[in-house]
């Protein structure tokens, strides 16, 4: 949903910041790597129960995630390697955050509810895999109710109070599962359409080539 409705406006806002960072020698890979550090600190804060601190660190993690793309564009160094690195780090960050949630639930005696962040992480990875697989087939699988930006925002809301922590996590799981199901249906329908027929490439017959060479020789004499 964020990519579909707000991405252009956010890119317009972050472009000057990206240019400013480039002038000071900050690269997109540095921002991606430091974003992972902040994600790890956020996971630790969630796990030990420092949830207000976790909100601040989660916000900083989100800023790093927004600005690395702006820096890559401003430096004119956007590459496949950078895109691959960013995608992998995003998945590691997601796993760290849900790992922090799982540790917190375990430490506070919630028992089998530790499977809740595991389920969220599983459906999150499914969403990412669907997009990657669809794009490798030349199809689009963007959009949905719960992409990465929305998940981080909702996690921040969950950290506001212990009373809403578990209900918001259940809501995140439901919306994430709906997003995964919606992407699957969209790709399934598009992939079911017949591919356009391509006209076979006709090659000139060998006899035609011989005839042309014979006419060329005759014209020389």
Set 29, 68, 90, 94: catalytic member: 90
Q: Which has the closest alpha carbon to 69: 95, 39, 89?
A: 89
Say how far apart CA 157 and CA 153 lie, in whole Å. 6
Predicted model pTM:
0.79
Reply yes or no on whether the pLDDT at 37 is more than 50. Answer: yes
Task: Give the whole-angstrom CA distance, residue 38 versus residue 59.
Answer: 9
What pLDDT sits at residue 196? 55
List the one residue out of 114, 221, 121, 91 whose CA is nearest residue 166.
Answer: 114
Task: Walk me through the domains of the chain, giving residue ranges and CATH numbers.
Answer: 2-193 (1.20.120.1760)
- pLDDT of 43 strictly over 50: yes
In whole angstroms, give the CA distance from residue 128 to residue 140: 12
Q: What is the pLDDT of residues 74-88, one digit of tens each?
A: 877 777 888 888 889
**pLDDT tops 80 at residue 205:** no
Weakest-pLDDT range from 40-54, 94-108, 167-181, 203-217: 203-217
CB atoms within 10 A of CB 159: 23
90 flagged as catalytic: yes
User: Kindly report the CA angle at 120 between 9 and 170, in degrees rounded to 5?
Assistant: 95
Quote the mean pLDDT of the chain. Answer: 83
The residue-averaged pLDDT of 82-106 equals 92
pLDDT of 207 reads 54
User: CB within 8 A of 177, min separation 6: which ones?
Assistant: 123
What mean pLDDT is predicted for residues 170-184?
93
pLDDT over 70 at 204, yes or no = no
Least confident interval from 15-19, 114-118, 147-151, 168-172: 15-19
Please list, residue by residue across 75-109, b when 16 or more beta carbons sit within 10 angstroms of its beta carbon and e when fewer do: beeeeeebeebbeebbeebbbbbbbbbbbbbeeee
The residue that leads in pLDDT, 106 or 219, is 106
The residue ranking higher by pLDDT, 199 or 165, is: 165
């Amino acid at each position: 949903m964020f990519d579909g409705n707000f991405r252009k406006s956010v890119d317009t806002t972050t472009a000057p910041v990206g240019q400013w960072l480039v002038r000071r020698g900050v690269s997109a890979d540095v921002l991606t790597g430091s974003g992972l550090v902040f994600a790890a600190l956020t996971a630790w804060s969630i796990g030990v129960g420092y949830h207000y601190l976790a909100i601040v660190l989660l916000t900083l993690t989100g800023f790093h995630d927004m600005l690395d793309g702006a820096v890559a564009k401003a430096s004119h160094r956007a590459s496949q390697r950078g895109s691959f690195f960013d995608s992998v780090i995003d998945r590691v960050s997601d796993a760290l955050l849900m790992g922090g949630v799982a540790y917190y639930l375990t430490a506070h005696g919630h028992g089998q509810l530790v499977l809740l962040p595991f389920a969220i992480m599983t459906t999150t990875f499914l969403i990412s895999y669907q997009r990657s697989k669809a794009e490798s087939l030349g199809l689009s699988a963007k959009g949905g109710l719960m992409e990465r930006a929305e998940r981080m925002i909702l996690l921040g809301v969950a950290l506001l109070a212990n009373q809403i922590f578990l209900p918001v996590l259940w809501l995140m799981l439901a919306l994430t599962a709906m997003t995964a199901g919606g992407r699957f249906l969209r790709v399934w329908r598009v992939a079911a359409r017949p591919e356009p027929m391509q006209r076979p490439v006709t090659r000139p017959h060998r006899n035609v080539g011989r005839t042309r060479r014979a006419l060329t020789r005759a014209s020389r004499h």
